[in-house]
Amino acid sequence: MTEKLNRIEIINACIAEHTINEPYPQFTIEPEIIEYAKYITQKVIERTFKKEGWTERYMGILGQELFNGFLLQYKIPNVYANPIYEDMVMRQIKEKHFDFIIPRMPKRMQNISVKVTREGNNYKRFLAKVEQWKNELHDIAIAIKIDSLQNRKAHIAGWLYAKEVEKLPIIDLGTGDAYYTYLDSIEATKEEIIPLRNPIELMQTLLKGSLKF
């Protein structure tokens, strides 16, 4: 007797289309994406035997999945270095690490790192670990802020070129030094720190590479 297989619906995170041209595009996060990010985080931790930093890893993987969902939603060709793959060489191109490579982007914007700020009013900075950043040689960094996991909301807060990241002040996190700026451009400007670039320019450039239009 042949067992009947039910079709499985694949659910992904997506940008609310009415916000795509607004200053801060909004993500809707499906519950399955949250659970998937937790699963991948646990597998990565088990593999590396590093029990510390679970939340940081989870937030990073969740952010990558949000951005991956947006690229899928708008049919933007890319290479995604999913952290479930163990061999770090597989996640390099010409010895450069990447979260995403987007070939249709301008050359100076193709190698993308996604940085995530967790939910809560106390978490209001973009952070990039100094040692990691210098080793990985990205072209740009994209900042995503988790607004609420309960309400399943997040948004793209801005982005920076690599050279701009390296001009940011450095803060000691206790687990290592990190470049930082504020997600709020007004707060960054008050402290004379380079603010994040507005996402609109980035989104327009990304959408030029879409196969959807």
pTM: 0.88
- pLDDT at position 170, please? 97
Rg of the Cα atoms in the chain = 17
Confidence of residue 1 (pLDDT cuts 50, 70, 90): very low
For residue 128, give the nearest of 84, 170, 187 by alpha carbon: 170
Pairing of strands 177-182, 170-172: antiparallel
Tens of pLDDT along 82-103?
Answer: 887 755 556 666 667 889 999 9
Q: At residue 6, does pLDDT exceed 80?
A: no
Contact 60, 141 (CB under 8 A): no
Average per-residue pLDDT for the chain:
87
pLDDT value at position 97? 86
Confidence class of residue 53 from pLDDT cuts 50, 70 and 90?
A: confident
The 10 Å Cβ neighbour count of residue 186 is 8
